[in-house]
Amino acid sequence: MKLGLVVNEGRAAACEFAERLQNAAARHGLVVGSAADPDCDVIVAVGGDGTVLDAARQAYHARRPVLGFNLGTIGFLAEVEPKDLEPALARLADGDYRVEPRLTLCATLEDGSRQVGLNDVVVEKIESQRLVVLDVEVDGENFLTHRADGIVIATSTGSTAYAFSAGGPLVDPALDTLLFTPVAPHSLFARTLVLPPDVMIRVRVAADRPVRVSVDGFEIGEASEGDVVTITRGEHPIGFVRYDTEGFAARVTRKFGLT
């Protein structure tokens, strides 16, 4: 089995762990190379959730599963803690794991720019002192006009990220849903709207205040008055290597240190 490595090279601890991982992989008969190698079987992320998202982007196009080693703070997307390196690699070599599919979503701008993500699409203000005005349609039907700092459209996987910080619910990634959450809205309606995965969401900029559009924290462009950002389901999911039988509620308890 060949592993494609993605490392947060800005963190010394992640680089040191990556070297340990390569040495340990050799002991288990695993070959470690680049995530860009088309022959790799699993893409391995070493770092925090940002690194896992970087790996997930590559995994989406390569159609390979992702395995994350947590060298970050919470590391909600990572499956393995550093102390469990040896048993994790042993189980990988033995094929003792499962691949869990995760819903993806895609943002398309007026100029045709598009980006697929695992966590969320964020449409937010650029000018710090001014709200943006956003007309929202769901499957061609008017929903609301939001006057807010922005909106987050997240998958269930992304429910633990920006959407959660904006007041949205935590959702088990086994559920294929999209979560529409306003950010600091000036409105009586400030709740998250939970939608099925195949809806089309269209967000039109309704005032002369431009917005920034990001997917999984990566800015893909800006939109001005009259422009529309379209959010749909991604063409296919991203697979995550899973070992444990821990349920989502227990995972939330552990990752957020609620005990």
Please give the positions annotated as active site.
49
Judge whether 255 and 74 are in contact, CB under 8 Å: yes
What DSSP designation does 143 have? E
Which of these, 199, 202, 203, 183, lies nearest to 191 by C-alpha position? 183
What DSSP designation does 88 have? H
Instruction: Show Cβ contacts of residue 200 under 8 Å, excluding neighbours closer than 6 positions.
Output: 138, 139, 140, 230, 231, 232
Instruction: Show Cβ contacts of residue 141 under 8 Å, excluding neighbours closer than 6 positions.
Output: none
Distance CA 96, CA 130 (A): 52
> How many other CB atoms sit within 10 Å of the CB of residue 39?
9
Distance CA 140, CA 6 (A): 40
Judge whether 136 and 151 are in contact, CB under 8 Å: yes
